[in-house]
Structure 1
Amino acid sequence: MIFWKLFFNSNKKTRLEKNTDSQNILLIRNLNNKNKIYNIYLSTTKNINLYELEKLCDSVGWVKRPLKKVKIALENSFLTISLFYYNENKKKLIGFARVTSDNSFNATIWDVVIHPDFQGQGLGKELMKQVIKKLRIYDISTITLFADPQVIKFYRHLGFIIDPDGVKGMFWYPL
């Protein structure tokens, strides 16, 4: 894991359209993915189907976590953002991220995941842009995350840098 810090320029414009459901926002209209057309929606509700989230995390090979703990983590998160599409009036979760924060200066992004069938379509980038945009609304300027080596390039393209102050993250794990 690598400790990252982001000092973000919030002057970028984004394209969002409100849907009739006040908690869902049409993020991308007519995404062509493998010759199928999808409307991709964004939601910031914490009311997430834990089994769908587990299935999404499992699709990218993450270690299973106890659903009771995942539920507590979601309830105590500062922000959660999910990406989904509708199939026969049912939501299909395809992306997710959550954030913890001190509600003032600092935030840490966790659990960023895009379903493998939808990777390479710009959804991870759009998800992260939305996370950062929402954090900047709260005037949070120090945004951190932990990244595995294989995704460092992805986060660098979004403006993340290795901590310029040389501060190293420290961890304590039970033996």
Structure 2
Amino acid sequence: MTEVDSNPFAPTLPPGRARALPWATVMAGSLVTIIPIVATVPIIPPFGLLMLLAWRLLARFALRPWAAAPLGFFDDLVSGQPLGSAVLLWSLCFIGIDLMERRLVFRDFRQDWLIASGAILFCLALGRILAVPVRAQVDAALLVQAAATICLFPAAARMVAWIDRKRGMA
């Protein structure tokens, strides 16, 4: 039994902070790209996208449907991608997930992971088309980055579930 389960009357976060926490975690995930890491092949996963997908799939009402656009704009400003690419791609991911939720009545974690994998591949592939010239040889690095991002989704989902439980919103 955890501390949260043992004391159901423990004070939770104020409503304003509880609503701002998903936004802050997605923005913090986007800020990971500014950490100076020296690598020969840039395979750092898009942590902002990971956190956004985890919040959308695990806590559906934590972020509004329009939240993907301003969060994508922030990610574009921080990551150096062409301005508007994450706005478009993250918004399309939200729309696609919403369409899938209308068809799938019940989901388990494996289906969430599959949906997130498709969204990650979609965003990375179209982001490559929007940001990099076609002749550039980055496909191998893109595949490694996609595999690393897909493998990190369960960790992001676990972190989001822990934060969602701590923030105390029903």
Greater helix share, 1 or 2?
Answer: 2
TM-score, length of structure 2 as denominator length: 0.27
Greater strand share, 1 or 2?
Answer: 1
TM-score, length of structure 1 as denominator length: 0.26
